Amino acid sequence: KAGVTQTPRYLIKTRGQQVTLSCSPISGHRSVSWYQQTPGQGLQFLFEYFSETQRNKGNFPGRFSGRQFSNSRSEMNVSTLELGDSALYLCASSFPGRENTEAFFGQGTRLTVV
């Protein structure tokens, strides 16, 4: 079956702009999580959505937001972009409720803020 799909793969934005990233989870998966990966901070949890509700949120400013649709697809939005937002943004999907569940990651969206 198809894996986690993230679009676009690459983005270049200017400081002050906003950006929307998209994530389509594996079919049947209802939990979607977002992570930011930077050389300095490593992999950091942004937020997690399940059935269109945000269940968990990491320690990021309010400029970072997300949502999940009824088909489990998710988007994250970053407003008023800063140079420090340049990162690889990874999305992961899971099938919650099963004991042996695990997170499957997409290939990520590389965001460069100039």
**Cα→Cα distances 66→15, 69, 105, 110, Å:** 20, 10, 17, 17
Using a 10 angstrom Cβ sphere, with 0-12 exposed, 13-18 middle and 19 or more buried, the burial of residue 88 is middle
Asked if 83 touches other proteins (CB under 8 A), the answer is no
Q: Which residue of 23, 26, 36, 48 would you call a contact of other proteins, by CB under 8 A?
A: 48
Asked if 38 touches other proteins (CB under 8 A), the answer is no
Strand partners, 9: none
End-to-end CA distance of the chain: 37
**Residues 57-76 close enough to bind other proteins by CB under 8 A:** 58
C-beta of 9 vs 15, nearer to other proteins: 9
CB of 16 to other proteins, least distance (A): 27
C-beta of 14 vs 100, nearer to other proteins: 100
Which tokens sit at 61? Answer: 């400013």
C-beta of 81 vs 89, nearer to other proteins: 89
Which tokens sit at 56? Answer: 């968990």
Contacting positions for other proteins (CB under 8 A)? 4, 6, 31, 33, 35, 42-43, 45, 48, 50, 55-56, 58, 90, 92, 94, 96, 99-108, 110
